[in-house]
Copies of this chain bind each other. A is one copy, B any other.
């Protein structure tokens, strides 16, 4: 299964507005945006790539092991991020009323599958 199919599967969760495979450098490999939102998703992807990079650096400093996931909730959008490998991560953005638990589960099962695509 390729990136596109996996991203579409992740977007099966209620409230999904975007899913992306991205590099820690902020450059997206592939993105699907199944629903309209007035949030600037392209800017969000780049900002959050930077934050996930900082979380990764903090984990190295603190010696807490690898980062498994990051979630950021704001009034207008909830975003879940999960590293695929040291260079790339999977991201799911959803409306705040979306199904957080299901989104978290979908990233958990999908990220390992994507490791084979790199």
Contact = CB atoms under 8 A, between A and B. Distances in A.
Interface residues of A, number: 30
Contacts of A77: 64
Number of copies: 2
A44 B64 contact: yes
A93 to B, nearest CB: 10
Contact of A54 (B54, B65, B66, B69): B54
Give the secondary structure class of A's interface.
Answer: mixed
Interface in A31-86: 39-40, 43-44, 47-48, 51, 54-55, 58-59, 61-77
B62 A66 contact: no
B59 A68 contact: no
A63 B37 CA distance: 12
